[in-house]
């Protein structure tokens, strides 16, 4: 079989809209781009994931979730934007609630699984996107009135007043749920992984390094680049 040639993309232009930054001055992003190999399951990665899930269930009780500083900061950020954080939970909170309720963590592919592991380690929401599906500079802005997109495995998601990523083709991601347009697929070869921090940029360095290392270990990550956006 002839090998598929993958176009290597440079670090994408990523920014935070001034109005969103005015409302949420502590918001910062950690952006990692990499050339990767997607696979359905990685056994060594899941050993790490299972170990961390056991640690979480042994150290955090469900009624303590809202007191985790990173999750509390995200909930306060959603309230500041006029969004109910109990109805539109950040993905970090939703993942942690799922794990602590005994439902375990779903297996998608190695890229999404890395994304979820770093989220559960850092208590920050993360998103991973197929760079080939993005068009032009990406801005994190406030979702417009009536704005929505089709979620991954879901119907239309109301993204009004959420922090949302948008490119020339429109909105495609948020800390709550991403659209199916930019989702990673078996053929994805160039990805952008983003860490959403609502507690400032100070914590981003170690978690960008962690995500970069996991991509190299479990997704054959090459040409890995990272930067923070404030």
User: CB–CB of 167/192 below 8 Å?
Assistant: no
| Mean of pLDDT values over 150-171 | 94
User: pLDDT of 64-89, one tens digit each?
Assistant: 999 999 999 999 999 999 999 999 99
Residue 136 has pLDDT above 50, yes or no: yes
CATH 3.50.40.10 assigned to 18-229: yes
DSSP secondary structure code for residue 175 in this structure: S
Q: What is the per-residue pLDDT for 11?
A: 57
- Residue 3 pLDDT level (bands cut at 50, 70, 90): very low
**Rounded Cα distance, 73 and 169, in Å:** 30
**What are the boundaries of each domain within the chain?**
18-229
The position carrying tokens 């935070």 is: 16
Please report the DSSP string for 2-67 in residue order.
PPPP-PPPPPPPEEE-HHHHHH-TT-EEEEEEEE----S--HHHHHHHHHHHHHHHHH--GGGGGG
Q: pTM for the whole thing?
A: 0.94
Q: What is the per-residue pLDDT for 155?
A: 84
């Amino acid at each position: 079989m002839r090998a598929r040639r993958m176009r290597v993309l440079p670090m994408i232009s990523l920014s935070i809209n001034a109005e969103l930054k005015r409302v949420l001055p502590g918001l910062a992003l950690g952006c990692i781009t990499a050339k990767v190999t997607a696979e359905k399951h990685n056994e060594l990665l899941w050993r790490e994931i299972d170990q961390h899930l056991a640690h979480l269930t042994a150290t955090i009780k469900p009624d303590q979730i809202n007191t985790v500083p990173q999750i509390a900061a995200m909930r306060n950020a959603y309230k500041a934007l006029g969004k109910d954080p109990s109805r539109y939970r950040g993905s970090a909170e939703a993942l942690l609630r799922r794990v602590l309720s005994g439902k375990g963590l779903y297996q998608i592919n190695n890229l999404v699984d890395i994304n979820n592991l770093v989220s559960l380690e850092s208590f920050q929401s993360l998103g991973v996107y197929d760079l080939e599906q993005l068009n032009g500079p990406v801005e994190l802005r406030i979702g417009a009135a009536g704005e929505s997109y089709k979620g991954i495995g879901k119907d239309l998601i109301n993204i009004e007043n959420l922090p949302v990523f948008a490119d020339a083709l429109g909105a495609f991601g948020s800390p709550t749920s991403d659209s199916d347009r930019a989702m990673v697929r078996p053929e994805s070869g160039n990805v952008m992984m983003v860490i959403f921090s609502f507690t400032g940029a100070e914590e981003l360095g170690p978690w960008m390094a962690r995500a970069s290392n996991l991509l190299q270990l479990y997704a054959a990550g090459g040409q890995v680049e990272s930067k923070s956006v404030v």
